Amino acid sequence: MHQKIKLGIIGFGGFGNFIYQSLSGSSLFEVTAIADIYVNENTIPGQISFVRNWKHLDIETELDAVLISTPPSSHSEIALHFLKRGKHIMVEKPIAISLDEAKAIKDAAIKYNCVVMVDFMQRFNPILETLQNLHSKNLFGNFERYFVENYAQDETLPAEHWFWDQSISGGILVEHAVHFIDIVHWFSNSPKVKKIDGYTDSRNAFQMDRMSLNVQYNNGLLATHVHSFSRPNVFERTNMRFVFSTAQFDLKGWIPEEGNFVALSNEELIYELSALPGFVITKQKRVQPKMIRGENYNYNKIIEGSFKAELSKSQLYSLALQKIFEDFYTKIIDRAHTNRVTINDALKAVEIAEIATQTASATLH
Ligand SMILES: NC(=O)c1ccc[n+]([C@@H]2O[C@H](COP(=O)([O-])OP(=O)(O)OC[C@H]3O[C@@H](n4cnc5c(N)ncnc54)[C@H](O)[C@@H]3O)[C@@H](O)[C@H]2O)c1
């Protein structure tokens, strides 16, 4: 029986607090200390040591690992400080606001032999997990096209929020789109990039509130990411589409909760698809197989249907966080373990987002 990992949280705002709640009752982690420069001290749970300056965090208490959940521009300085002191790190996305800073974290993780994971918790969403697993068994042919259209609310993002300051957040693509860029890389095994193009629209001189990017990969996959933080909560919607040679999946929710599909299928594939939560076939028809883009596939019917997770959005979110922390824990106690999210995944996502942001900004008047 291993001892619990003693975890310090740096940045106890909206998300640091949510992770703390998600880890409450964990048999793997014990939060022993929190550092936050501005937070109202009344929100800090009583039994936990609290400091304002994160440089004092592990002087106050013994720590094995830290979670960095401060705004993005501070991630690299904090990460380097704690890596030098031999602490393992879970860092909120983005790992840093530039590829150079991210590389410095990677180098320090190697030098000081510490585990670093970035919180790409989408890789632990049960719908995405199942789809990725089915695709990795090569059940749908090639992954040809991905798009995400993500309308997020701006009601909790007043003009003075750090989110709008590109020198702090890195901009929407670096701060937010990295989650979705990483989903594509996870599904497609990080293919080589052929071309990246970014676009932006600003509501005023300092709020770049709509951004998009296209990424074309060498294996033929074309990904389009559209992110908009520009309207009230009532309009919040996210749709993702995964197009494979023989199947298409449309997912709803930025934390995917449900969706529908159409697939060229056979009994074996139907059995595999039934691993999707709440899987239901609503239509099916026998068909003669035809070649698709010059390839033969083994199918005899076309099916349509839907799937839906049993859990609510916040339960799915918490569960994904618990699972990514479990993966982090496993690597800390067993260095032979391969994490589902590696530091190279974190670097790759930032690299694409950073390039796209530069090309987007280049088109600004
Ligand atoms: N993985 C996800 O799904 C997800 C979701 C939301 C936010 N995030 C990420 O989490 C991080 C924090 O976001 P948030 O929404 O919680 O922001 P927030 O503004 O609510 O919280 C940030 C906290 O950090 C504190 N802080 C700022 N600078 C600090 C410093 N130098 N030292 C100590 N404390 C400092 C602030 O006082 C604040 O309490 C960001 O990187 C964000 O991208 C990730």
User: Candidates 10, 15, 95: which one to mutate for ligand 1, based on the most atoms within 8 Å of Cβ?
Assistant: 15
Minimal-distance CA residue to ligand 1 atom 34:
36
Minimal-distance CA residue to ligand 1 atom 19:
13
Element (H, E) at 81: helix 75-84
Residue 126 buriedness (CB in 10 A; 0-12 / 13-18 / 19+) = buried
How far is ligand 1, taken at its centre, from the CA of residue 203, in Å? 24
How far is ligand 1, taken at its centre, from the CA of residue 152, in Å? 17
Spell 5-31 as b/e; 16+ CB within 10 A means b: bbbbbbbbeebbbebbebbeebebbeb
How far is ligand 1, taken at its centre, from the CA of residue 363, in Å? 30
d(CA 153, CA 260): 24
326 CB neighbour count, 10 Å cutoff:
14
Beta strand extents in the chain (DSSP E only) = 5-10, 29-35, 49-51, 65-68, 88-91, 116-118, 143-153, 193-202, 208-217, 222-231, 237-244, 247-252, 258-265, 280-286, 301-308
User: Candidates 36, 155, 160, 166: which one to mutate for ligand 1, based on the most atoms within 8 Å of Cβ?
Assistant: 36
Minimal-distance CA residue to ligand 1 atom 37:
38
Atom nearest to 12 CA in ligand 1:
39
Atom nearest to 321 CA in ligand 1:
1
Tell which residue, 120, 111, 123, has the closest CA to residue 79. Answer: 111
* DSSP sequence for 236-305: -EEEEEEEESSEEEEEETTTT-EEEEEEEE-HHHHHHHTTSTT-EEEEEEE-----BTTB----SEEEEE
Mean pLDDT, the chain cut into blocks of 10 residues (365 residues total): 90 98 97 96 93 88 94 98 97 98 98 98 98 97 97 96 97 98 95 95 93 96 97 96 98 98 97 98 97 95 98 97 98 97 97 95 62
Atom nearest to 119 CA in ligand 1:
1
- Check residue 46 and give its pLDDT: 87
62 CB neighbour count, 10 Å cutoff:
9
Domain ranges in the chain are 5-120+316-320, 123-312
Cα separations in angstroms, 284 against 167, 241, 301 = 52, 21, 7
Residue-wise pLDDT tens digits, 50-85? 999 999 998 767 899 999 999 999 999 999 999 999
d(CA 253, CA 126): 13
Cα separations in angstroms, 337 against 5, 87, 105, 330 = 17, 18, 20, 7
Minimal-distance CA residue to ligand 1 atom 7:
15
Kindly report the CATH number that applies to the domain delimited by 123-312.
3.30.360.10
Fold matches, 5-120+316-320 and 123-312? no
Tell which residue, 322, 364, 312, has the closest CA to residue 119. Answer: 322
- Check residue 1 and give its pLDDT: 55
DSSP label at 177?
Answer: I
Minimal-distance CA residue to ligand 1 atom 30:
37
Residue-wise pLDDT tens digits, 288-315? 999 999 999 999 999 999 999 999 999 9
- Check residue 61 and give its pLDDT: 73
d(CA 197, CA 357): 9
Minimal-distance CA residue to ligand 1 atom 33:
36
Minimal-distance CA residue to ligand 1 atom 40:
71
How far is ligand 1, taken at its centre, from the CA of residue 35, in Å? 12
Pocket lined around ligand 1, Cβ cut-off 6 Å: 10-16, 35-39, 54, 69-72, 74, 92-93, 119, 121, 175
User: Candidates 38, 70, 181, 316: which one to mutate for ligand 1, based on the most atoms within 8 Å of Cβ?
Assistant: 70
d(CA 247, CA 254): 21
Residue-wise pLDDT tens digits, 176-207? 999 999 999 999 988 899 999 999 999 998 99
Global pTM reads: 0.97
How does strand 116-118 pair with strand 143-153? unpaired
Q: Give φ, ψ of 361 to 5 degrees.
A: -70, -30
CATH architecture of 5-120+316-320: 3-Layer(aba) Sandwich (3.40)
Reduced 3-state DSSP string for 22-48: HCCCCCCEEEEEEECCCCCHHHCCCCC
Element (H, E) at 163: none
DSSP label at 204?
Answer: S
